[in-house]
Structure 1
Amino acid sequence: MLAPVVAAALWVLATWLLWRMRAQAPGRTAIVVVLGDVGRSPRMCYHVRSLIEAGWSVSIAGYFESRLPADLDQAVHRLPLYTPPKMLQSLPRALFAVVALIKVPLQAVTLLVQLVMHHPRPALVIVQTPPAIPTLGVVRVACAITRSTLVIDWHNLGYTLLALKLGARSPLVTVARTLERWLGARADVHLFVTEAMRTQLLAQWRLSGRTAVLHDRPPAHFHRLSPPERDAFLARHPSFVAGCASKLVVSSTSWTPDEDIGMLIEAAALYEARARRDAAVPPICIVITGSGPLREAHERAIALRAQREVWSHVTIRTAWLATDDYPRLLGVADVGVSLHTSSSGIDLPMKVVDMLGCGLPVCALSFACLPELIEPGVNGAVFSTADELAVRLLDLLTGRLQLPHTGFVGTDALTWQAQWTRTVAPLLPP
């Protein structure tokens, strides 16, 4: 009952606004759309920074739950979207469809109003996907009304993330895939985080418009800290070196099913067993950063395992860091661990990008696209099991494995801004 009413209201609103907007001339204005927490969406913040440097006036439509990076806080105009109550996000899986029927129309209406009512009329709209629904449908309607150039920045495939929650055979997943393919096929510009993603979507989804691959890169403030900076940071976070740990290992996670935290816990137990037998193996503190739905369950599992086995060489801490403190943590760590398993198989983990930007040796869980970022034995190490992860940590932390290069290698060593200027700027409106 609700859906037809919302559809009719949207049609009336779109018709009126189309008539109203025809007389407006677009300014050099861009709107960046993030149906998520903008402060925790680094790639889109990098787009905003690059647009500003290129002379655009930028507005951001999204959720502002976390503080924006300091250099963007006063430089952009905020367009807040409807924020679903947190209770809706924690309801059982069986109620997912009911929640979606309430949440999606409200998100769609508020996003459409923010886009089409913006003055001056935007010449450019860049949208992050996923989430694909309702974002892609709304921005397509809005750009048709405002005659704006539409850029879709493909981070992953939304229906594959939904399949992690509902199962690949769920009818809702099938519907989501169909809608994502149909709504996402037509845009003026498509950006992709990997070459594999561009190749697959061009072949299977027959995308129209111009395309470019824009690999993730961290900004300049992701770097190794100097000794005074390191001491100052650790003085504010003494728990990261509790127990006289001589090495610091960092793993960033969103605590979701596509990241196997259990594998890290098992590898930590194997490392502890080896350290008891070999005095040359250094004690470590593993810091797991981030927030997400499975955090509390894994924290309980970690505490029980360490207590039952009486760990003395391995300490595991969980943390939710301020935006500015996250690169500092990476800048003092000795090894970074990525447990990301791509739901689609064609995206790359931003956490590895951040770690490489800070010059960290990286242990990354293997999957098909990883060679676009990590060359095993050159700028990182790859593992597939907990046993292999434990061995990689032992090799790196004892010095048995010496990587000849830290950071990005080959032609991909360009900074974000250099890539953006070369690949994205020529595709935007003059």
Structure 2
Amino acid sequence: MAYSTLLLLWQLSLAFAVSVTICFLAFLFTLPSAYNPYHPDLIEEDDFTAEDKKKTESGYGYFSKHRTTNQTLKTETSVQVVVLGDIGRSPRMQYHALSIARHGGRVYLVGCQESDVHPGVLANRLISIVPIRPLPTWLGTSSKPLFPIIAPLKALWQAWALYQALGYRTRPTKWMLVQNPPAIPTLLVAHFICFFRNTSLIIDWHNFGSSLLALRLSPTHPIVRLSFHYERFFAKGATAHFAVTAAMARVLKKDYNAQAVTLHDRPSADFQPLTAERRKRFLQRLPETKEYAQDLETGAWKLIVSSTSWTADEDFSLLLDALVSYSSACNSNPSKRLPKILAIITGKGPLKEHYLFRIRALN
């Protein structure tokens, strides 16, 4: 009896060991290929259509100026620009991609395609968009009671989708530029890929993942503290850091021991003030302003436009409360003749319905 039991245990252990070995070998043999600086990406004449060659935004101008005699261009700079979110709602990362491509770099823009992408990104042949598989609907819930259950499942799904995109659906690159947050699982997957693909990591800090979690949970919650240490740990492994403000760069240096370069958000050259005539035509054409165009032109009404991601870290109630206070001031003192306000708010996000309900209640 004892002999039979030992034999069974031995057979099970052997089967387990063989299975683990096979899985490990399969993992090793299917690892993503590494970046080789001696074999950079080649851009060829055939990559551009006849229509591309007429457009400056296609990148053909740079190609024709720097190509070799055999009609190819070696791209010494190659970058994976990573957004674990909607590319269309990440203008900063799109501008990074455009800037790199306009200087002859090869760009793989990795992220979700849920809304329109900048036309310049779509037109440039040095930029390839690599879509990430979107989350299933049931993982997109914002329910606070379900958060401890949904969050780990969401992170696992995103980790696998991101790993597939970065490791197997793009060529190995010299650099990887990652938007943070979300930090989980982005930084973990990015470090893993960079290690095996011989890629240098740059983190572009837009906010701190732990700060956003604190808004949902509480600053003292164990998950928030864990998130802080997670971000700080992976920050140390990056080659370089960008920050959107000088204040954020100081926090990175003080709390994360990371030296960041401050790159302020600025509008691209596409955004220019409208002339008086174009402004008039625009107000008359836009459905939201058409009815009030004349009053806006005369100054009887004022136009406020704001974009928001409808998230907890963007406290939209500040603007809403200010508009309510302004309305009260107008009604309590009609003699001041304060101008009426037309407020147009754009964007989408988890708290949109919450604030729409509040706005409807005010009416």
**Residue 91 of structure 1: how far off its partner (Å):** 4.6
> Alignment RMSD, CA only?
2.6
**Cα distance 1:97–1:281, how it changes in 2: closer, same or farther (>3 A)?**
same
* Paired letter, 2:145: A
Equivalent residues of 1:116, 1:145 under 8 A apart: no
Show the counterpart of 2:100: 51
Show the counterpart of 1:374: none
Q: Does 1:25 align with 2:80?
A: no
User: What are the Cα deviations for residues 372-406 of structure 1, in whole angstroms up to 9, with x where unaligned?
Assistant: xxxxxxxxxxxxxxxxxxxxxxxxxxxxxxxxxxx
User: What are the Cα deviations for residues 89-121 of structure 1, in whole angstroms up to 9, with x where unaligned?
Assistant: 225212212222222122212222322235542
| TM-score w.r.t. length of structure 2 | 0.74
Task: After TM superposition, list the pairs within 5 Å mapping 1:5-84 onto structure 2.
Answer: 15-17=28-30, 20-21=33-34, 25-27=39-41, 28=75, 29-75=78-124, 76-84=127-135
SS at match of 2:273: coil
* Paired letter, 1:160: S
* Paired letter, 1:195: A
Equivalent residues of 1:251, 1:288 under 8 A apart: yes
Unaligned runs of 5+ in 1: 1-7, 307-430
User: What are the Cα deviations for residues 137-179 of structure 1, in whole angstroms up to 9, with x where unaligned?
Assistant: 1111111111112111111111110111122222221221121
For residues 140 and 32 of structure 2, the distance between their equivalents in structure 1, rounded to whole angstroms, comes to 38
| TM-score w.r.t. length of structure 1 | 0.63
Residue of structure 1 aligned with 2:238, choices 173, 187, 193: 187
Show the counterpart of 2:67: none
For residues 114 and 157 of structure 1, the distance between their equivalents in structure 2, rounded to whole angstroms, comes to 24
Equivalent residues of 1:10, 1:109 under 8 A apart: no
For residues 324 and 32 of structure 2, the distance between their equivalents in structure 1, rounded to whole angstroms, comes to 65
Show the counterpart of 1:96: 147
Equivalent residues of 2:252, 2:260 under 8 A apart: no
SS at match of 2:145: helix
SS at match of 1:274: helix
**Cα distance 1:58–1:272, how it changes in 2: closer, same or farther (>3 A)?**
same
**Cα distance 1:286–1:10, how it changes in 2: closer, same or farther (>3 A)?**
farther
* Paired letter, 1:212: V
Show the counterpart of 1:416: none
Show the counterpart of 1:292: 349
Residue of structure 2 aligned with 1:176, choices 213, 221, 227: 227
Q: Does 1:122 align with 2:182?
A: no
For residues 216 and 251 of structure 2, the distance between their equivalents in structure 1, rounded to whole angstroms, comes to 23
Show the counterpart of 1:257: 312
For residues 170 and 9 of structure 1, the distance between their equivalents in structure 2, rounded to whole angstroms, comes to 40
**Cα distance 1:242–1:156, how it changes in 2: closer, same or farther (>3 A)?**
same
Equivalent residues of 2:142, 2:350 under 8 A apart: no
Equivalent residues of 2:253, 2:260 under 8 A apart: no
* Paired letter, 2:250: T
Show the counterpart of 1:220: 269
Task: Determine which structure has more spread, i.e. the larger CA radius of gyration.
Answer: 2
Equivalent residues of 1:241, 1:248 under 8 A apart: no
User: What are the Cα deviations for residues 303-347 of structure 1, in whole angstroms up to 9, with x where unaligned?
Assistant: 3323xxxxxxxxxxxxxxxxxxxxxxxxxxxxxxxxxxxxxxxxx
User: How many residues of Structure 1 are paired with residues of Structure 2 in the alignment?
Assistant: 298
**Cα distance 1:225–1:25, how it changes in 2: closer, same or farther (>3 A)?**
same
**Cα distance 1:194–1:22, how it changes in 2: closer, same or farther (>3 A)?**
closer
Residue of structure 1 aligned with 2:335, choices 236, 257, 278: 278
Worse-matched range after superposition: 198-207 or 41-50: 198-207
**Residue 11 of structure 1: how far off its partner (Å):** 7.1
Show the counterpart of 2:249: 198
**Residue 297 of structure 1: how far off its partner (Å):** 2.4
For residues 240 and 129 of structure 1, the distance between their equivalents in structure 2, rounded to whole angstroms, comes to 36
Show the counterpart of 1:109: 160
Residue of structure 2 aligned with 1:232, choices 256, 268, 281: 281
Tell me: higher relative CO, structure 1 or 2? Use CA pairs within 8 A at least 6 residues apart. Answer: 1
For residues 36 and 148 of structure 1, the distance between their equivalents in structure 2, rounded to whole angstroms, comes to 22
For residues 18 and 299 of structure 1, the distance between their equivalents in structure 2, rounded to whole angstroms, comes to 48
For residues 165 and 351 of structure 2, the distance between their equivalents in structure 1, rounded to whole angstroms, comes to 33
For residues 281 and 119 of structure 1, the distance between their equivalents in structure 2, rounded to whole angstroms, comes to 57
Equivalent residues of 2:284, 2:290 under 8 A apart: no
**Cα distance 1:147–1:10, how it changes in 2: closer, same or farther (>3 A)?**
farther
* Paired letter, 1:295: K
**Residue 129 of structure 1: how far off its partner (Å):** 0.3
Worse-matched range after superposition: 67-76 or 38-47: 67-76
* Paired letter, 1:300: F
